[in-house]
Amino acid sequence: MTVDSLDSSGRIDSDDLSIAYIGGGSRQWAPALIRDLALADISGDVRLYDVNVESAERNARFGNWVQRQEEAVAEWHYEATDAIDEALDGADVVILSTQFDPAETFVHDLDIPKEYGIYGAVAATIGPGGIFRAMRTIPLYREFAAAVREHCPDAWVFNYTNPVTFVTRALYDEYPGINALGLCHEVLGTRDRLARYAREELGMDASREDVSVNVKGINHFTWVDEVQCDGVDLWPLLADLADREEARRTFTAEDLDGESVFTDNWQVTWELYRTFGILPAAGDRHLVEYATSFLRGGKETLNRWGVKRTGSDYRAKHWTPAESEQTTDVEAWMNGEREFTLESSNETFMDILAALTGDGPFVTNVNLPNEGQVDDLQRDAVVETNAVVREDDVQPVAAGGFPRPVRSMIRGHIDTQETVIEASRTGDLDHAFRGFRIDQQVRTLPPEASRELFAELVLAEEQYLDGWNLDESRILRESEAYPTE
């Protein structure tokens, strides 16, 4: 069953595709995309735009360098530009992947709430840090949506920027006719894990592609209530696994010493499954920021569930390729300092693109405004479900609703998201604070504390809060943290 389709009135040509990459200086997504494109049955040109022109130029050099590799089968040409209008003009596809300097933003998102007893695990999607990341990003993405409307109104727009729900919602709020998809690989990771269980427990020759799930929710707080692997129902297996000793482990800080912050022990996942009867489909480090009881008690509680906090020191290092698990030094490849292998990123972007150009259908999870695909959540709020992708057409799949307790949690987060989106239409900072105040991490604070936390974050990140009217904010005037004349 599907709901209203999302389709473009333009038809895109797989032999002459025009891609605009906004945030083209990306140190993670752009190098991965460039390698994927080189291995595709699609050709065209990529225009890279970034406020850091040198970074975009570096990726353009890398893209053209990859095209000269013997293994490259597609024909792509890369060019950097310092004008967003030039990048977007006539584009068939637009990719959005941007972020601000973590040392000046994420660090505050993590450290300031910690002083108020909020020990966020990631601070990238929801909670005080996630909300401020959204507030930094939403005004910019309204500008992007307006530019798409002017220069390439029928383009397919792929958003990778977090917080995915806030950002994708802002694109549609600014330009309701946009053909935008919010993409995230958390559900793909869940399918990978379920395929592993099918191999280990049932002896099946299974991969992620063999696993189908009925997924629904909001980004980083998605849930699954049906799982099949090559036609075999895995739900009885999940019930068995959830009661085993390995699904009831406890951890200490020492147990996690030396582990990557991305290590996922699935202990939060199993606990939520046992409690609510449906399976979460995102990493534990993201789930705890929505299911906030796992954050109570700070580091000890978080570690007990096998989750290692993404600290501010890690976020600061993220900006430096040599020190980061998530950024790529393309210069080292081009200079021969590191061995280069042309291989797929295993993301779904190329599968979606291939389906849109006629090589479909393809089914995958996407973030889109709710037109009925999740029947007990607010219409127009951005939700994550499967969608069927065909030539010039995307149709979200109706996924049903939720048990009442899960629905209650999700609705609360949607109320936060929608309140901040409403506030962003006029830049009303006090209205944004209302969304901040009802956030499920913040609302346990006394009113004065939540106001001071909000004001401290504004003060620390003021230079990145373009589009918000700070001068007329009553919350800031009443705060002791924010200096007023």
pLDDT of residue 278: 98
> Among 189, 414, 370, which Cα is nearest to 281's?
189
Residue 171 neighbours by CB distance under 10 Å: 26
pLDDT of residue 1: 43
> Among 217, 151, 138, which Cα is nearest to 178's?
151
CA distances from 207 to 188, 190, 203, 386 (A): 11, 12, 12, 18
- Give dist(CA 376, CA 408) in Å, integer: 10
Token pair of 221 as six digits: 């707080």
pLDDT of residue 15: 77
> Among 53, 19, 11, 51, which Cα is nearest to 36's?
19
| CB neighbour class for 340 (10 Å; exposed up to 12, middle 13-18, buried from 19) | middle
CA distances from 297 to 233, 274, 308 (A): 38, 22, 14
Residue ranges in 50-178 assigned as alpha helix (H) = 53-67, 84-88, 106-114, 127-151, 164-174
- Along the 485 residues of the chain, how does pLDDT read in single tens digits? 445 556 555 566 677 899 999 999 998 889 999 999 999 999 999 999 999 999 999 999 999 999 999 999 999 999 999 999 999 999 999 999 998 888 889 899 999 999 999 998 998 899 999 999 999 999 999 999 999 999 999 999 999 999 999 999 999 999 999 999 999 999 999 999 999 999 999 999 999 999 999 999 999 999 999 999 999 999 999 999 999 999 999 999 999 998 998 999 999 999 999 999 999 999 999 999 999 999 998 899 999 999 998 877 776 665 555 554 556 789 999 999 999 999 998 889 999 999 999 998 999 999 999 999 999 999 999 999 999 999 999 999 999 999 999 999 999 999 999 999 999 999 999 999 999 999 999 999 999 999 999 999 999 999 999 999 999 999 999 998 777 66
CATH of 17-104+124-183, one of 3.40.1640.10, 3.40.630.30, 3.40.50.720, 3.10.105.10: 3.40.50.720
- Expressed in percent and rounded to 5, the helix, strand and coil fractions of the chain are 45, 15, 40
Residue 83 neighbours by CB distance under 10 Å: 10
CA distances from 103 to 64, 93, 312, 361, 454 (A): 31, 31, 8, 42, 19
- Give the CB-side neighbour count of residue 240, counting CA atoms within 13 A: 8
- Give dist(CA 208, CA 211) in Å, integer: 5
Token pair of 26 as six digits: 């990306």
CB contact at 8 A, 114 and 435: no
Active site residues: 185
Q: Can you give the pTM of this predicted structure?
A: 0.94
Contacts made by residues 455-462, CB under 8 angstroms, sequence distance 24+: 455/479, 455/480, 455/481, 455/482, 456/112, 456/481, 456/482, 457/108, 457/109, 457/112, 457/113, 457/128, 457/132, 458/429, 458/482, 459/483, 460/108, 460/112, 461/104, 461/105, 461/108, 461/132, 461/136
pLDDT of residue 4: 54
Token pair of 411 as six digits: 């609705």
**CATH fold group of domain 105-123+184-327+361-471:** LDH C-terminal domain-like (3.90.1820)
Q: Domain segments of the chain: what residues?
A: 17-104+124-183, 105-123+184-327+361-471
Q: Are strands 279-280 and 221-229 parallel, antiparallel or unpaired?
A: antiparallel
CB contact at 8 A, 36 and 349: yes
Q: Do domains 17-104+124-183 and 105-123+184-327+361-471 have the same CATH topology?
A: no
- Give dist(CA 419, CA 424) in Å, integer: 9
> Could you write out the three-class secondary structure of 144-193?
HHHHHHHHCCCCEEEECCCCHHHHHHHHHHHCCCCEEEECCCHHHHHHHH
Cα dihedral 371, 374, 378, 383, rounded to 10, equals: -80
- Give dist(CA 158, CA 461) in Å, integer: 27
> Among 471, 435, 469, which Cα is nearest to 454's?
435
Q: Which amino acid is at 8?
A: S
**Phi and psi of 115, rounded to 5°?**
-65, -20
Q: Are strands 232-233 and 221-229 parallel, antiparallel or unpaired?
A: antiparallel
Token pair of 62 as six digits: 């890398």
B/e letters for 450-463, b = 16+ CB within 10 Å, e = fewer, are bbbbbbbbbbbbee
B/e letters for 104-130, b = 16+ CB within 10 Å, e = fewer, are ebbbbbbbbbbebebbbbbbbbbbbbb
CB contact at 8 A, 289 and 120: yes
Token pair of 426 as six digits: 């006029």
